[in-house]
Amino acid sequence: MKKALIVWGGWDGHEPEQCKDVFEPYLRAQGYDLRVENSMDVYTDADYMQSLSLVVPIWTMGEISGEQSAGLLNAVRSGVGIAGWHGGMCDAFRMNTEYQWMTGGQWVAHPGGIVDYVVNIVKHDDPIVAGLSDFAVRSEQYYLHVDPGNDVLATTLITGIDAPWTAGTVMPAVWKRMWGEGRVFYSSVGHVAADFDIPEARTIVERGMLWASR
């Protein structure tokens, strides 16, 4: 049986526990032996981490110790998949640049706060987004510093609210990549759990988790 790990915590504004509750039943229904933790100490258990197929981090901001970071990064580099969304994956551990290198991006702003925007599917033949149409979101629209090596599956057009110099920027919103032998998936949608009431947003994360899993 494949093993998966959800680790949730950090800033409460991103509703980490509620978001965990959205995807925990899905992973169990897919047949994973799922462990859920509210502490990153599990990352230091090398034998357990190496036994995993998938890690789903839901941890915004905060700090990760050197031992915890090494445990997670080594696991992904060796082939354990990782999949996440919004700040729960790409606004964590702002001082840890190796973690940011692994994820493929880092949040830097969300101009306008809660705004209306559209996520545009750009790689229609990829199984993570196949058959899905562009979809509208009212939430935080992430402006990210992103790795040019990412395989971008969807983008969003920055309108420049509160930052007019950014108007017209095409920002990656969904991507996948490799970190060593590990598959990495990310979607920038998911500020709060209710964002996953949008069927496309939820489906993309569900498919992304399955893709990332070894």
* The Cα angle at residue 210 between residues 205 and 213, in degrees rounded to 5: 120
**DSSP labels for 5-34?**
EEEEEE-GGG-HHHHHHHHHHHHHHTT-EE
How are strands ordered across the β-sheet holding 182-187?
A: 33-37, 3-10, 54-60, 81-85, 182-187, 170-179, 151-157, 114-121, 135-140
Max distance between CA atoms of the chain, in angstroms, equals: 51
- Which pLDDT score, from 0 to 100, does residue 179 have? 98
Two structure tokens written together for 47 = 């034998």
C-beta atoms surrounding 112 within 10 Å: 16
Tens digit of pLDDT per residue, the chain (214 long)? 899 999 999 999 999 999 999 999 999 999 999 999 999 999 999 999 999 999 999 999 999 999 999 999 999 999 999 999 999 999 999 999 999 999 999 999 999 999 999 999 999 999 999 999 999 999 999 999 999 999 999 999 998 899 999 999 999 999 999 999 999 999 999 999 999 999 999 999 999 999 999 9
pTM (two decimals): 0.98
Pairing of strands 33-37, 81-85: unpaired
What domains lie within the chain, and their CATH numbers? 3-212 (3.40.50.880)
Spell out the alpha helix ranges (H) of the chain. Answer: 16-29, 46-50, 66-78, 86-90, 97-103, 199-212
For residue 142, the number of C-alpha atoms closer than 13 Å in the C-beta half-sphere is 26
| DSSP secondary structure code for residue 75 in this structure | H
- Which pLDDT score, from 0 to 100, does residue 14 have? 98
